[in-house]
Amino acid sequence: MTYALKFQDLSLGYDRQPAVHRLRGEIAEGSLTAIVGPNGAGKSTVLKGVTGSLRPLQGRIAFGGLTRSEIAYLPQQSDVDRSFPVAVADLVAMGLWREIGGFAGLRAAHRARVAEAISAVGLEGFEMRPIGSLSGGQIQRTLFARLLLQDARLVLLDEPFTAIDAKTVADLIGVVRRWHGEGRTVLAVLHDVDTVRAHFPRTLMLARELVAHGPTGQVLTAENQFRARQMCEACTGPPHTCGRSPA
């Protein structure tokens, strides 16, 4: 099986202080993988490294036959500026940016695709609603519709199901499973282990360093979760000691 991503002795951080230390491993092409770990484990940091918004302090990320232009990234809702004066349909249409450019007008075929994406996430009738008026679940549906139009081979999701209602979670998991069925690679940061067990066949557990990576049932053990908490709680010394299990 070929890889979509390979982490090669990867360290990532901020102001030269590591948040992820010497990560190694592969994400298989076409896999559906959750990234889990305690708060402060470096989960979102890994996604930022993959998108290129955060440069490695050490090591590298190898891409198995894809480029960063083939990546779609959904940040946490707290990173989305909902005060921006844009309607649902216009925000969704931004998913076509790489295809049509920033200044080209939408043709009838493009508008039909926007309408199809909005319908796919259950937002018919909301096309002209300003995004500032949407609930948390509705804005997340809108952002998923934008991802649908990006038609990416690698989809990165950062806490996609946080603070939204159960119906929206179920509908959006359906979208994720659709991507997986189409052979796309999906890598999602999640905190709800029940959701991970139910829907994500593979899991990568972090605690600033790699704790475990493989089939979800083998990774999400009580022992691994306890070890991950210990490793993060032990990270009170110099940056190079973060992630090390206490003696």
User: In this predicted structure, what is the pLDDT of residue 80?
Assistant: 80
Domain at 1-66+153-162+201-247: CATH architecture: 3-Layer(aba) Sandwich (3.40)
pLDDT digits (tens, 9 = 90+) for 128-187: 999 999 999 999 999 999 999 999 999 999 999 998 999 999 999 999 999 999 999 999
Question: pTM of the entire structure?
Answer: 0.91
Nearest to 57 by CA among 86, 16, 108: 16
User: In this predicted structure, what is the pLDDT of residue 75?
Assistant: 92
Nearest to 156 by CA among 118, 127, 128, 190: 190
C-alpha separations of 72 from 45, 97, 157, 176 in Å: 16, 12, 8, 13
Residue 245 contacts residue 226 (beta carbons within 8 Å)? no
In the three-class reduction of DSSP (H, G, I as helix; E, B as strand; rest coil), residue 124 is classed as coil
Give me the residue spans of the domains in the chain. 1-66+153-162+201-247
pLDDT digits (tens, 9 = 90+) for 20-74: 999 999 999 999 999 999 999 999 999 999 999 999 999 999 999 888 889 999 9
In the structure, what pLDDT confidence band is assigned to residue 104 with cuts at 50, 70 and 90? low
Nearest to 8 by CA among 24, 31, 28, 32: 24
Which residue in the block uniquely carries the two structure tokens 């908490």?
229
* Range list of β-strands (E), 37-97: 58-63, 71-74
